[in-house]
Structure 1
Amino acid sequence: MDKKKETRTFDITNLTTRAASEGESNVISGYAAVFNSPTDIGGWFTEEIAPGAFSKAIAENGDIRALFNHDWNNVLGRTKAGTLRLSEDDRGLKFEVDLPNTSVARDLVESLKRGDINQCSFGFIPTVEEWDYSVEPAHRIIKEVDLFEVSVVSIPAYEDTEVSLVRNKEIGKQVEKRMSMIKKINAILEGK
């Protein structure tokens, strides 16, 4: 199975902004992901992110970007430029971005101050994951990712969850197929 790029959206109500002073940029910080927080992914499966899932990507990928709404035309910061800083702590993937003096960044700061925008997302490919098909819905633990970007977002994919998924529906079909096969195997083993 080819790995597809995935994104997740998190509530970042603890997002902070630091106002720009003379010669400084605005700074925003928050969590792009939270560890050990099981979340329903569209009814297909539940998922949680294990502590340490981002450590390899942070150490090895020297060019991760901060975006607005996953739009690669709206770059807010970049690890390569030193304007995006990423780290893991006990809670999750923490970020801090020195915002550029652009109309997108200024508009974003205003929306953050008003509380109109308060969520974050990240784009990744899972490189190490563990599935448990013995429960329904199936459960996935993401243990390591290839991280491409973190995004401040205005619209989450799933309003009713703190985390959401934006990608093609192929993985849902695969999970359903595996769950169906497991049920058939269990029925045969139980002699039904």
Structure 2
Amino acid sequence: MPAADIEVRDASAEQAGTIIRGYCALYDSPTIIGGEYTEKIARGAFSKTIATGDVVALLAHDWGRVLGRQAAGSLRLKDTPIGLSFELDVDASTPSGQEALGTVRSRAVKGCSFGFRVLWHDWSDDDEMPLRIIREIELYEISLLANPAYEATSAWISSRSVAETNSQAALRRIREAQLRRGIA
């Protein structure tokens, strides 16, 4: 039998479908920054930047431990009424990917943070502590973190369904067969 006709069913494809999901920021959720002031992020503060940006996902703000990238399609960001949600396809063949999956799965890492530049904000001194409301953010990165400033953020493991993983594998095999035949 020619090698091109051999088909293989591999259970490891299910492992490759692991993603981390969560919220890297919640709207209107107050947090105290450095004991100096309270900060809130207004609804829609991330809208422009996620539509035009190239945000990366990191482990603990470390640019040497890149987990995914918006432009590559491995990081998907969505501006929801609750906050900024994310889906991150994790490459378990990399040390950083293995660490991210392990620490999120064990709940040692269960929150997120983000690296940003404020484009528009308001201040109020009506309460006992000054309040900063961030209205527009230029987002550079999101990070999986053990101790985020915004404690209400979240990260959890979610596996793609077996049907989705199998259909992706089937499409890949079809494309490979087309390429062998010169059909592209």
User: TM-score, structure 1 length as denominator?
Assistant: 0.68
> Any residues of structure 2 matched to 1:63-82 within 5 Å, and which?
63-82=54-73
Unpaired segments of 5 or more residues in structure 2? 1-11, 154-184
Among 22, 46, 65, the residue aligned to 1:30: 22
State the AA in 1 paired with 2:77. Answer: L
Match for residue 8 of structure 2? none
1:93-142 C-alpha deviation (Å, 9 max, x unpaired): 00001112201111221221111111110111110101012433110100
Among 127, 141, 145, the residue aligned to 1:149: 141
Whether the aligned pair in 2 keeps the contact of 1:86 and 1:93 (CA below 8 Å) is yes
State the AA in 1 paired with 2:86. Answer: F
> Any residues of structure 2 matched to 1:5-154 within 5 Å, and which?
21-22=13-14, 24-61=16-53, 63-100=54-91, 101-154=93-146
Identity %: 42
- Looking at structure 2, the residues matched to 107 and 137 of structure 1 have their Cα atoms a distance apart, in angstroms, of 38
- Looking at structure 2, the residues matched to 115 and 22 of structure 1 have their Cα atoms a distance apart, in angstroms, of 21
RMSD of equivalent CA atoms: 2.0
- Looking at structure 2, the residues matched to 163 and 140 of structure 1 have their Cα atoms a distance apart, in angstroms, of 18
2:154 corresponds to 1:162:
no
- Looking at structure 2, the residues matched to 22 and 139 of structure 1 have their Cα atoms a distance apart, in angstroms, of 46
In proportion to residue count, which structure has more helix?
Answer: 2
Rg (Cα) greater in structure: 2
Match for residue 7 of structure 2? none
SS of equivalent to 2:40: strand
Match for residue 167 of structure 2? none
User: TM-score, structure 2 length as denominator?
Assistant: 0.71
Match for residue 157 of structure 2? none
- Looking at structure 2, the residues matched to 142 and 49 of structure 1 have their Cα atoms a distance apart, in angstroms, of 5
Match for residue 168 of structure 2? none
- Looking at structure 2, the residues matched to 111 and 21 of structure 1 have their Cα atoms a distance apart, in angstroms, of 21
- Looking at structure 1, the residues matched to 32 and 51 of structure 2 have their Cα atoms a distance apart, in angstroms, of 29
- Alpha-carbon distance, 1:21 to partner: 3.0
SS of equivalent to 2:13: coil
1:37-77 C-alpha deviation (Å, 9 max, x unpaired): 1121122111111100000101121x110000000110000
- Looking at structure 1, the residues matched to 62 and 106 of structure 2 have their Cα atoms a distance apart, in angstroms, of 22
Unpaired segments of 5 or more residues in structure 1? 1-19, 165-192
